[in-house]
Structure 1
């Protein structure tokens, strides 16, 4: 069997995931287009959701965990008058109810109840696990288990437009927020039920409204690897909220060797570490006057980051 040649590629791609494809399938398609040896994403989108899926290649996977805690912005359409077994358009529509007359004032009063810190019960159709089993697998077997409520934060919740039976909402929320649950809870407050009929992730912090690329756009550049690579963001753009320190090259060598290095910087649990030449080295802590490596990158910018290697 012929072997595909992968590259030791490092960087972050802001992928615009399309409808009807899983996040893992989109990730693997992007990985093969870039011929990247290693790749991961920073939080799944359901197949029926589209939008921003940050894909981390190579050493960028070492910072991907910090993106999982990021705030996110979604556009969603809630269809009123029904609930769904899955909370979205994929499930069976149940419990039809008449849609009452909903004034703008009433709608605003309901939405106001969901701004700030709220409590959510995660849906059964989710990747959360019970005794090692994903909840969505139990749900497909008709099994429902008790789920503990958890606190999430809705930073912003605004209505963009509405029809007789739909509401289109703009939501900025903390990690762990289930938009399906939010829509269902709003539907219950309105007295008619609701489910998600459209969901798009517009942004993941700290990328804001940064340019995203669809798989179709990437495929158009498949024969031009340099053009593809130009779309990648450097690793440290994912961490602008962390303070930074700069150290000499000799200090970096000592840190990589596991030696203790003294510092005059104030104590901090997490810092961006740079060389004196501006190269991002990784993450460290400063505790009691000592620099402690947390996640150091395995390469130097002077290395050839695109050397091919064999893969299957």
Structure 2
């Protein structure tokens, strides 16, 4: 039995290291095409700019998608101070700039520590959250101003792992539904300096780690290597 046939028969969770510029749906569609299996879904959207762990549920394992999506997540990335954008990341247009001369490593670390714990978070305007049945990013593209009600999230860890002002690197452990872009935005506002996300990588989702994940090329090679062989002469 080939790998594809086994996954279709019993279900499988395939861990993918999503490349930058790909949407989460791109990964699902490509995986579906490689496997020739219709029942394929992901367990938590990653923005196109982001890389890292995307757990893909195949066949009968799709019933586990909600359970996996509810697990705690871990991310690494970078935040640039001095400017906010309309998307809260480097993909958007700068909406305003702010001074950074007052920022110090100690001040930023203190700001990150203050964000640890349960809190209400307002999503970015460009997000998949629905307002009146429409995705916020679609409304934002039309120039429609909307304000989504904040949701409760929990930040368990927010570590500053590198400092090269006006940019810092971080590691965050948080609950499902947390927008890391919004944390970057709110950190900047709390320090009286705009900020936006410049890099993001998901390293863990529950007990799944990105070190265990396959690239799309590795998945393609795995499936090619396990195709059933014809009869030997």
TM-score (ref. length: structure 2): 0.90
- Quote the residue 1:98 is aligned against: 99
Number of aligned pairs? 222
Report the alpha carbon displacement of residue 210 of structure 1 after superposing the two structures with TM: 4.9
**Distance in 2 between residues matched to 1:30 and 1:139, nearest whole Å:** 30
Aligned partner of residue 62 in structure 1, secondary structure? helix
Asked whether the equivalents of residues 72 and 175 of structure 1 are also in contact (C-alpha less than 8 Å), the reply is: yes
**Distance in 2 between residues matched to 1:198 and 1:39, nearest whole Å:** 27
Aligned partner of residue 21 in structure 2, secondary structure? coil
- Quote the residue 2:51 is aligned against: 50
Report the alpha carbon displacement of residue 164 of structure 1 after superposing the two structures with TM: 2.0
Report the alpha carbon displacement of residue 37 of structure 1 after superposing the two structures with TM: 3.8
- Quote the residue 2:231 is aligned against: none
Q: Deviations over 1:43-96 (max 9, x none)?
A: 111111111000000000011111111110011211111101111111101212
**Distance in 2 between residues matched to 1:160 and 1:207, nearest whole Å:** 22
Q: Given the alignment of the two structures, is residue 25 of structure 1 paired with residue 41 of structure 2, yes or no?
A: no
Deviates more, 1:92-101 or 1:65-74: 92-101
The structure richer in helix per residue is 2
Q: Which one has a bigger Cα radius of gyration? A: 1
Residue ranges of structure 2 left out of the alignment (5+ in a row): 229-233
Q: Given the alignment of the two structures, is residue 62 of structure 1 paired with residue 63 of structure 2, yes or no?
A: yes
Aligned partner of residue 95 in structure 1, secondary structure? strand
Asked whether the equivalents of residues 116 and 155 of structure 2 are also in contact (C-alpha less than 8 Å), the reply is: yes
Q: Given the alignment of the two structures, is residue 216 of structure 1 paired with residue 217 of structure 2, yes or no?
A: yes
- Quote the residue 1:166 is aligned against: 167
- Quote the residue 1:16 is aligned against: 17
Greater relative contact order: 1 or 2 (C-alpha under 8 angstroms, separation 6 or more)? Answer: 2
- Quote the residue 2:134 is aligned against: 133
Asked whether the equivalents of residues 18 and 49 of structure 1 are also in contact (C-alpha less than 8 Å), the reply is: yes
Q: CA RMSD in A?
A: 1.7
**Distance in 2 between residues matched to 1:167 and 1:46, nearest whole Å:** 20
